Amino acid sequence: MRAFMVEQYKGPVREAEVPEPVVGEHDVLIEVRAAGLNQLDEKIRQGELRQVLRYELPLILGHDVAGTVIATGKAAKIFTPGDEVYARSSRIGTFAERIAVAEEDLARKPAGITFEEAASLPLVALTAWQALVERANLQKGQRVLIHAGAGSVGTIAIQLAKHLGATVATTVSAKDADFVRELGADEIIDYRTQDFEQLLTGYDVVLDSLGGDNLAKSLKVLRPGGKAIGIADPPDQAFAKEVGANKLLQLVMAVLSRRIRKQARQLGVTYEFLFMHATGNQLRSITELVDKGALRPVVRRVFGFDQTVPAMQSLATGGKTVISRTTQTGESA
């Protein structure tokens, strides 16, 4: 079958003929209709995560998928051939014609959206869910700052936070102000001309996708007891343990996050690093929100499957990119 893969870290993405997927007892074989692209894919290609995500090269890229079930393993009981499904697969390899996905990673595709829209959701929606619901336990009436609100995670996080009843502030460029307002943002800060640290105070939660100085400044807008959740950097020791890193790597991550953790303690707040995990259960909750209109996918660009290489290159321009086996290349939003 056709697939897009890398043979070495920092090497080019290329098309190749690869063997058909092996379907395990608890797997579901999916005919891929669309696959979402994420910054994670480029970081894997660059080898930035090879210490914690130990893939064997060469490898097929891609984690987000939407498609149709064509076969199931002997122990797979939930889905049957013909079902339309989507997932953030815990295995890499969605930039292909077919992929075998663990059944526990899957959920039925929301009924009212396209395969391309469904493929845009899993990683970013699960990231938003795990940050705001699982980690922050965001409640009605609380206040949350979501950085990069026009980005792929930010667009979903704003909508989820509003559904949960929170007041939402976000940082964007001026040209995206109306867009994020439509998504539900209450306070919009132009990061190019305004300093959010000087304008915001007493926030319960910050979702930071930028890291560095932006994260350090974000701690200062939290109320005592508030929580900052970072999805960019620095990784902490808890994350290292979660992914089964060795003792040395755990120590390295503890050192990398020491400054920000110390600053958080001094301010009476907490910092946690989040690396999203695949789960069909949470994705089913997200499906319910999409079906009732509380969440809508935001797709910036759709590329044909043949255009996977330029699709990867487009990640540098921001916004959500999807490759499709049925739709031609074009701008979607």
For residue 330, pLDDT over 70 is answered with: no
Q: What is the C-alpha to C-alpha distance for residues 234 and 237, in angstroms, rounded to an integer?
A: 10
> What's the CA gap between 179 and 161, in Å, rounded?
16
CA atoms of 113 and 124, how far apart (whole Å): 16
- Residues 13 and 157: their CA atoms lie apart, in Å, by 30
Query: Pick from 128, 117, 189: which is nearest to 333 by CA?
Result: 117
Closest CA to 327 of 68, 115, 30: 115
Nearest to 201 by CA among 231, 238, 230, 226: 226
- Tens of pLDDT, residue by residue over 162-194, are 999 999 999 999 999 999 999 999 999 999 999
Question: 3-42: buried (b, 16+ CB within 10 Å) or exposed (e) per residue?
Answer: bbbbeeeeeebeeeebeebebeebbbbbebbbbbbbbbbb
Domains of the chain from N-terminus onward: 2-121+297-331 (3.90.180.10), 124-273 (3.40.50.720)
Over residues 200-252, the pLDDT tens digits come to: 999 999 999 998 999 999 999 999 999 999 998 767 667 766 666 677 767 77
Q: State how beta strands 167-172 and 203-208 pair.
A: unpaired
Over residues 17-63, the pLDDT tens digits come to 999 999 999 999 999 999 999 999 999 999 987 777 778 899 999 99
Single pTM value for the model: 0.94
Q: Please give the Cα distance from 264 to 255 (Å, whole number).
A: 15
